[in-house]
């Protein structure tokens, strides 16, 4: 008899901060008051984002929070441009304010951040719950602001407003909100409770993962699951169950995770374009291949790894 494993409960990067609710109050009511934001900035913990990288401690296992004076000193020194600041919210435990400061380096022709700055992919697996939340928020906002300096309606320049929550066109005053691209990711099982994993050619040798794809206009999440699996792996599925979600700001996605069952495992085949190989794996087979080094699972930071690990422990 097929084992039915429990549904996951709303997890984000790092498994919903170990199942806890958000540690941050985004305090949207404070975004409309520039004076209040200025006051909060003077006592804030500030995440410095430069060229898509964040300042970290010497041990590279925590974010290195700056204060307003340190930011001013970096600007004065000429090491960094003045940049933009974005209000992230308040720590619900002690009301400490958090901001992101998004600035490019003045001393680098290719605008790459200097030593002591790493990407979210590099540090995400070791951050605690609160730091993960502020890192995700900081990187997602910075990515969006970096790519939307002009109005999509008239082409004029735009400026930060509402503490970084939106941009406003300097000419026609239209409001522009951060973009989030919806994508599904699905773990497919068969009647023997094996899982189907696929491989993309651009991944490291031996890497296999769950199937994923972007939601198309006018499409439900369930329809997207069915379409992507049929396109990439040639399988029809049923019992599509929602598992959870994960912010994935690389550059601007939200991963909506599902499980699904197929009655036609023998029909599975790679599409030869996005997916170049597939594998049906039992728990024993997966563990044996990982141990032998012939199978490389997704990194711990990813929702796909959380889905696979949950199935393994069921």
Query: What integer pLDDT is reported at residue 15 of this predicted model?
Result: 39
Q: Quick one: 218 and 306 in the same domain?
A: yes
Q: Quick one: 43 and 128 in the same domain?
A: yes
CATH of residue 189 = 3.90.79.10
Query: What integer pLDDT is reported at residue 60 of this predicted model?
Result: 87
Query: What integer pLDDT is reported at residue 115 of this predicted model?
Result: 81
User: Which candidate, 244, 285, 286, 278, places its Cα nearest to that of 262?
Assistant: 278
Enter the tokens of residue 92: 């619900």
The residue among 97, 127, 147 that closes a domain is 147
The alpha-helical segments, DSSP class H, found in the chain are 13-19, 34-41, 68-77, 120-123, 129-147, 221-233, 283-292, 303-313
Q: Quick one: 120 and 230 in the same domain?
A: no
Domain contains 272: yes
Domain contains 269: yes
List the domain range (segments joined by +) for residue 198.
180-313
Q: What is the pTM of this model?
A: 0.86
The residue among 127, 147, 167 that closes a domain is 147
Place of tokens 């958000």: 22
Q: Quick one: 187 and 306 in the same domain?
A: yes
CATH of residue 143 = 3.90.79
Domain contains 11: no
Q: Quick one: 188 and 111 in the same domain?
A: no
Q: Quick one: 185 and 114 in the same domain?
A: no
Query: What integer pLDDT is reported at residue 11 of this predicted model?
Result: 37
Pairing of strands 117-118, 24-25: unpaired
Number of residues in the chain: 314
Domain contains 113: yes
Is the four-CA dihedral 251, 256, 259, 260 of positive or negative sign?
negative
Q: Quick one: 64 and 185 in the same domain?
A: no
Whole-Å CA distances, 48 to 20, 90, 198, 225: 26, 17, 36, 37
Residue 159: Cβ within 10 Å count: 11
Q: Quick one: 185 and 113 in the same domain?
A: no
Looking at the DSSP bridge assignments, the partners of residue 182 are: 254
DSSP, res 80: B
Q: Quick one: 249 and 302 in the same domain?
A: yes
Place of tokens 């340190």: 70
Q: Give the number of domains in the chain.
A: 2
Task: Going from the first residue of the chain to its last (314 residues), give the mean pLDDT of each consecutive group of 10, the final group possibly shorter.
Answer: 32 38 93 96 97 92 96 91 95 97 73 81 90 95 95 97 98 96 97 97 96 97 97 97 93 95 97 96 98 95 94 93
Enter the tokens of residue 150: 């002009």
Q: What are phi and psi of 178, to 5 degrees?
A: -55, 140
Q: Quick one: 222 and 304 in the same domain?
A: yes
Residue 233: Cβ within 10 Å count: 23
Query: What integer pLDDT is reported at residue 78 of this predicted model?
Result: 87
Query: What integer pLDDT is reported at residue 33 of this predicted model?
Result: 95
Whole-Å CA distances, 230 to 94, 135, 151, 208: 49, 35, 38, 18
82-119 burial, b at 16+ Cβ within 10 Å, e below that, comes to ebbbbbbbbbeeeeebbbbbbbbbeeeeeeebeeebbe
Domain contains 209: yes
Domain contains 93: yes
Quote the percentage of the chain above a pLDDT of 70: 91
Furthest CA-CA distance within the chain: 68
Q: Quick one: 49 and 138 in the same domain?
A: yes
Query: What integer pLDDT is reported at residue 72 of this predicted model?
Result: 96
């Amino acid at each position: 008899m097929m084992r039915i494993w429990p549904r996951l409960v709303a997890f984000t990067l790092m498994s919903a901060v170990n199942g806890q609710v958000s540690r941050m109050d985004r305090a949207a009511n404070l975004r409309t008051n520039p004076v209040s934001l200025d006051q909060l900035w003077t006592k804030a913990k500030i995440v410095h984002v430069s060229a898509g990288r964040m300042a970290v401690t010497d041990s590279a296992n925590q974010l290195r929070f700056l204060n307003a004076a340190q930011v001013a000193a970096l600007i004065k020194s000429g090491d960094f441009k003045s940049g933009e600041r974005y209000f992230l919210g308040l720590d619900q435990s002690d009301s400490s304010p958090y901001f992101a400061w998004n600035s490019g380096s003045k001393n680098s022709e290719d605008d790459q951040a200097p030593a002591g700055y790493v990407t979210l992919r590099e540090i995400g697996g070791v951050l605690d719950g609160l730091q993960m939340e502020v890192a995700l928020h900081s990187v997602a906002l910075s990515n969006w602001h970096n790519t939307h300096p002009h109005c999509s309606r008239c082409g004029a320049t735009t400026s930060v407003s509402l503490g970084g929550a939106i941009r406003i066109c300097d000419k026609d005053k239209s409001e522009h909100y951060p973009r989030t691209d919806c994508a599904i990711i699905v773990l497919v099982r068969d009647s023997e409770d094996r899982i189907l994993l696929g491989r993309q050619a651009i991944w490291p040798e031996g890497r296999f993962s769950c199937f994923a794809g972007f939601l198309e206009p006018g499409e439900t999440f369930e329809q997207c699951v069915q379409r992507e699996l049929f396109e990439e792996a040639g399988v029809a599925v049923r019992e599509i169950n929602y598992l959870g979600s994960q912010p994935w700001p690389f550059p601007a996605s939200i991963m909506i995770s599902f499980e699904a069952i197929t009655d036609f495992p023998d029909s599975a085949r790679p599409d030869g374009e996005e997916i170049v190989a597939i594998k049906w794996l039992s728990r024993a087979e997966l563990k044996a291949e990982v141990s032998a080094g012939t199978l490389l699972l997704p990194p711990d930071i990813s929702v796909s790894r959380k889905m696979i690990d949950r199935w393994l422990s069921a």
